[in-house]
Chains A and B, each alone.
Chain A
């Protein structure tokens, strides 16, 4: 909800600065952003009463006082004769109608209402609809304007089973289904109550006689309709959050006053219909309870004083004002007091709880630690799948048809993760995921599963570079000390996948409860305390590799060469490792190969850029005594 700063402080006797106003709004729990003179409020859903200038000012009165009351039409108003039947008072316990006829219409308004259109960017429609919108902004109560000439026969409010096309006053057509609160004439729906009026009875710029409907609809009767029919409206937003059941006549009198400010009223009539079954809430006065909730030592007079300032009436009990639907219990009242004092001004007081041993010896944690130590990286995947297996649990309202089932296995996710990283030029991949998996048996079955997948090189170092991750590797890692091969290793055929790579893919999936206890007993948790490293954004550009092999005839120089290359810093050099190392102890010569991986965070890297860095490294390396690049001509 957007509101103009000056409009709000007009209702306060002290005129706080924007900064002070903002501070107090936050203290009261009313989040907002400020853009120049506009406060863009983000109110919590329980505070429908604050969705207006009047509502917010009521909350702020305790800090900034009340200004003169809003001007209303004070003269006696003749009773309206209207043929109306309320067939569902439980959905609408209070409804009032105002009929006004004016001499001529205008679209040039007094500044107080003109601002609402100019500064907040609202569009003018016709004088009555414009006043209706302004009154809702000012007082928080929606009204609906029917062109009086279109209401000829009996008007009925009912909660009705519908299967009708309804044309809204904005021109869109919706098909009303199931039960809806509607206004009808001769069986025809003329308004979707609390959401939007219909085209057939809407006002136009020519309308001079209007029937203004002003009702209290139960929020439960309105909620969901706006979303169901994709009809967003200020009225629905307010009714869903609750309006003030005591305000309808006052609101219509304000409406009449604004009409009077802009035109000559030829006739004015008013009629209210109220069912008796609506009662305001009262709560017994219990300061001890409130102090017990907050941990405060307030005395009763201070407590009741705060409540009075918020509009509560104090008799033998605390009478909750009709606009505060959210207040029902002492906990609610305690929150009121805390808001007024300010949450940040309430004292803190420690609790003493016994320390719990953080159980990091659980099987899951041991397993994670074991896999990480062996070079596996953990992934977390969304559990949605397009595959509808016999035991899949279906999602009734999925995001889309590719995500309409709960996955029954971790395999597809992990294969996808593997291929994703292969496309990013990774050639040594070990991933795992541990997740609860849900399937449909006679009832919903929950199993904690481990999935792990491998492919490519053993590792990016000279010991592991030429070895390939395979069945044997996994078998030794997982099954070695078990009496039988509990971990079933399967090969995932490449030909079914969208990939040109050739390295074999191996996969294991197991329910944790199927892993024997003695497997875990060998494991220990090596987890370190968390280290919140500062993350560097990942480049989306391709990487490029270069390999160089050196021969070192004086092995004492090995360390200098390693230091030079492994510690070489360049923004484009992402990674360097030794992929080959051989010591020929007969002749005392070392052969060592380095792999350089280049990647730019800004663009696709060029050969020239790589060569520049490589030449620099080579020059420095060759300047070390006894180091050569076999096959490299010295004068190159």
Chain B
């Protein structure tokens, strides 16, 4: 009989857990932006109407401010932030250009159906300096999307409308099935917003962009139903090792 000491017991399989795929995707996006020169900043999820709307040139009459779109919380004019843009306002108020910041986190809309959740995640970036142009924005967005979807991805810019950028664009990528998918919103920071943040809009201009983390995660992982991310099902979560 051979020496039993030579027999190795069976290997204990890797029993590590996983980070949530949305947080993995969010961290990945922030890392991509960090490599491009954007520094991560944070802000609160309960925001004032002033930072969430007014400072961003979203007027009192804008539909987004109505009670059926935005969660209002007790306290003076407080809302659950509807986007991560107020973080940029807070950061611009505290710094002098040139600045390049990224912000990420949970955002809230009063929505709950098959394709919309009351809470989701955004990642945004803003760059303010002298002579920032739409041409710079185009180049940067192309670089981001090439990093995310490969250098061969087909990209389409479409004019759009956001109160805080002008010109504004939505950016689509061409999916394998031949359909254009909306992937990113961006634009030249509206000079009104710069002035609201005490930045001289004659000297400085800025570019800004934002992505929905769930959308990117769904595309990259092939998840079709956004609600899967928030069932906390271990069979689901364990797949994202």
Interface residues of A (CB under 8 A from B): 26-29, 31, 44-47, 219-220, 223-224, 227, 240, 292-296, 326, 329, 331-332, 334-335, 338-339, 343-344, 346-351, 353-360, 365, 368, 371-384, 393-399, 403, 406, 416-417, 420-421, 424, 426, 429-431, 436, 438, 440, 444, 446, 459-464, 527, 530-539, 555-556, 558, 562, 577-578, 581, 583, 585, 588, 590, 592
Task: Tell whether, in the assembled complex, residue B73 and residue A396 are in contact, meaning their CB atoms are under 8 Å apart.
Answer: yes
Task: Tell whether, in the assembled complex, residue B24 and residue A530 are in contact, meaning their CB atoms are under 8 Å apart.
Answer: yes
B160 interfacial contact with A, CB 8 Å: yes
Residue of A nearest to B7 (CB): A555
Closest chain-A Cβ to B102's Cβ sits at a distance in Å of 9
A380-B71 contact in complex given A349-B139, A421-B233, A461-B13, C-beta closer than 8 Å: no
A292-B222 contact in complex given A399-B110, A424-B235, C-beta closer than 8 Å: no
CB-CB contacts of B10-44 with A at 8 A, as 1s and 0s? 10110111111011110110110011111110001
Within 8 A of A (CB), among B219-234: 220-224, 228-234
Cross-chain pairs A/B with CB under 8 angstroms, 16 sampled = A27-B159, A44-B159, A295-B133, A339-B159, A347-B135, A348-B135, A378-B19, A380-B23, A383-B119, A393-B73, A396-B74, A420-B232, A430-B17, A440-B74, A444-B78, A464-B15
Task: Tell whether, in the assembled complex, residue A538 and residue B10 are in contact, meaning their CB atoms are under 8 Å apart.
Answer: no
A382-B232 contact in complex given A338-B159, A351-B140, A396-B73, C-beta closer than 8 Å: no
Task: Tell whether, in the assembled complex, residue A395 and residue B45 are in contact, meaning their CB atoms are under 8 Å apart.
Answer: no
What's the Cα separation between A384 and B119 when bound, in Å?
A: 10
Task: Tell whether, in the assembled complex, residue B239 and residue A535 are in contact, meaning their CB atoms are under 8 Å apart.
Answer: yes
Task: Tell whether, in the assembled complex, residue B46 and residue A293 are in contact, meaning their CB atoms are under 8 Å apart.
Answer: no
* Residues of chain A with a CB closer than 8 A to B231's CB: 420
A533-B239 contact in complex given A354-B37, A384-B118, C-beta closer than 8 Å: yes
User: Given A26-B156, A44-B161, A353-B36, 18 other A-B contacts at CB below 8 A?
Assistant: A220-B61, A292-B133, A335-B167, A347-B135, A349-B138, A353-B127, A377-B18, A395-B72, A396-B73, A397-B67, A399-B112, A403-B118, A438-B44, A438-B46, A444-B44, A530-B25, A532-B221, A533-B241
* Residues of chain B with a CB closer than 8 A to A530's CB: 24-25, 27-28
Closest chain-A Cβ to B49's Cβ sits at a distance in Å of 12
What's the Cα separation between A491 and B234 when bound, in Å?
A: 22
* Residues of chain A with a CB closer than 8 A to B72's CB: 395-397
Task: Tell whether, in the assembled complex, residue A444 and residue B75 are in contact, meaning their CB atoms are under 8 Å apart.
Answer: yes
B85 interfacial contact with A, CB 8 Å: no
Residue of B nearest to A26 (CB): B158
* Residues of chain A with a CB closer than 8 A to B133's CB: 292-295, 349
What's the Cα separation between A372 and B233 when bound, in Å?
A: 16
* Residues of chain B with a CB closer than 8 A to A538's CB: 228, 233, 235-236
Task: Tell whether, in the assembled complex, residue A380 and residue B233 are in contact, meaning their CB atoms are under 8 Å apart.
Answer: no
* Residues of chain B with a CB closer than 8 A to A29's CB: 158-161
Closest chain-A Cβ to B187's Cβ sits at a distance in Å of 9
Task: Tell whether, in the assembled complex, residue B135 and residue A377 are in contact, meaning their CB atoms are under 8 Å apart.
Answer: no
Task: Out of B71, B134, B191, name the residue touching A294 (CB < 8 Å).
Answer: B134
* Residues of chain A with a CB closer than 8 A to B16's CB: 372-375
What's the Cα separation between A384 and B117 when bound, in Å?
A: 12
* Residues of chain A with a CB closer than 8 A to B4's CB: 555, 583, 585, 588
Task: Out of A396, A527, A592, name the residue touching B10 (CB < 8 Å).
Answer: A592
Closest chain-A Cβ to B233's Cβ sits at a distance in Å of 6
CB-CB contacts of B124-154 with A at 8 A, as 1s and 0s? 0001010111111011101100000000000
B190 interfacial contact with A, CB 8 Å: yes
Task: Out of A294, A373, A383, name the residue touching B135 (CB < 8 Å).
Answer: A294
* Residues of chain A with a CB closer than 8 A to B235's CB: 424, 538-539
What's the Cα separation between A396 and B142 when bound, in Å?
A: 41
Closest 7 CB pairs of A and B: A353-B37, A29-B159, A295-B135, A295-B133, A335-B167, A343-B157, A44-B161
* Residues of chain B with a CB closer than 8 A to A394's CB: 73-74
Closest chain-B Cβ to A394's Cβ sits at a distance in Å of 5
Closest chain-A Cβ to B129's Cβ sits at a distance in Å of 8
* Residues of chain B with a CB closer than 8 A to A585's CB: 4
A348-B15 contact in complex given A26-B158, A293-B134, C-beta closer than 8 Å: no
Task: Tell whether, in the assembled complex, residue B17 and residue A375 are in contact, meaning their CB atoms are under 8 Å apart.
Answer: yes
* Residues of chain B with a CB closer than 8 A to A26's CB: 156, 158
Task: Tell whether, in the assembled complex, residue A349 and residue B136 are in contact, meaning their CB atoms are under 8 Å apart.
Answer: yes
* Residues of chain A with a CB closer than 8 A to B140's CB: 350-351
Task: Out of B9, B167, B234, name the residue touching A377 (CB < 8 Å).
Answer: B234
Task: Tell whether, in the assembled complex, residue B17 and residue A358 are in contact, meaning their CB atoms are under 8 Å apart.
Answer: no
Residue of B nearest to A561 (CB): B10
Closest chain-B Cβ to A553's Cβ sits at a distance in Å of 10
* Residues of chain A with a CB closer than 8 A to B15's CB: 375, 459-461, 464
Task: Tell whether, in the assembled complex, residue B158 and residue A343 are in contact, meaning their CB atoms are under 8 Å apart.
Answer: yes
B96 interfacial contact with A, CB 8 Å: no
Task: Tell whether, in the assembled complex, residue B127 and residue A351 are in contact, meaning their CB atoms are under 8 Å apart.
Answer: yes
Closest chain-A Cβ to B52's Cβ sits at a distance in Å of 14
B1 interfacial contact with A, CB 8 Å: yes
Task: Tell whether, in the assembled complex, residue B17 and residue A377 are in contact, meaning their CB atoms are under 8 Å apart.
Answer: yes
* Residues of chain A with a CB closer than 8 A to B221's CB: 532-535
Residue of B nearest to A44 (CB): B161
What's the Cα separation between A27 and B10 when bound, in Å?
A: 62
Task: Tell whether, in the assembled complex, residue A398 and residue B71 are in contact, meaning their CB atoms are under 8 Å apart.
Answer: yes
What's the Cα separation between A372 and B17 when bound, in Å?
A: 5
A334-B34 contact in complex given A372-B16, A444-B75, C-beta closer than 8 Å: no
A378-B63 contact in complex given A331-B167, A396-B72, C-beta closer than 8 Å: no
Closest chain-B Cβ to A548's Cβ sits at a distance in Å of 15
Task: Tell whether, in the assembled complex, residue A380 and residue B20 are in contact, meaning their CB atoms are under 8 Å apart.
Answer: yes
* Residues of chain B with a CB closer than 8 A to A348's CB: 135-136, 138-139, 142
What's the Cα separation between A393 and B188 when bound, in Å?
A: 36
Task: Tell whether, in the assembled complex, residue B9 and residue A343 are in contact, meaning their CB atoms are under 8 Å apart.
Answer: no
What's the Cα separation between A384 and B228 when bound, in Å?
A: 18
B2 interfacial contact with A, CB 8 Å: yes
B181 interfacial contact with A, CB 8 Å: no
A378-B166 contact in complex given A343-B157, A459-B15, A534-B222, C-beta closer than 8 Å: no
What's the Cα separation between A623 and B30 when bound, in Å?
A: 54
* Residues of chain B with a CB closer than 8 A to A426's CB: 234
Task: Tell whether, in the assembled complex, residue A436 and residue B45 are in contact, meaning their CB atoms are under 8 Å apart.
Answer: yes
A406-B73 contact in complex given A372-B19, A378-B17, C-beta closer than 8 Å: yes
B175 interfacial contact with A, CB 8 Å: no
* Residues of chain B with a CB closer than 8 A to A296's CB: 135
What's the Cα separation between A219 and B61 when bound, in Å?
A: 8
What's the Cα separation between A31 and B181 when bound, in Å?
A: 12
Task: Tell whether, in the assembled complex, residue B158 and residue A338 are in contact, meaning their CB atoms are under 8 Å apart.
Answer: no
Residue of B nearest to A417 (CB): B232
* Residues of chain A with a CB closer than 8 A to B37's CB: 353-356
Which of A353, A355, A398, A421 is the most central at the interface, judged by chain B CB atoms within 10 Å of its CB?
A353
What's the Cα separation between A174 and B22 when bound, in Å?
A: 44
What's the Cα separation between A588 and B3 when bound, in Å?
A: 9
Residue of B nearest to A397 (CB): B67
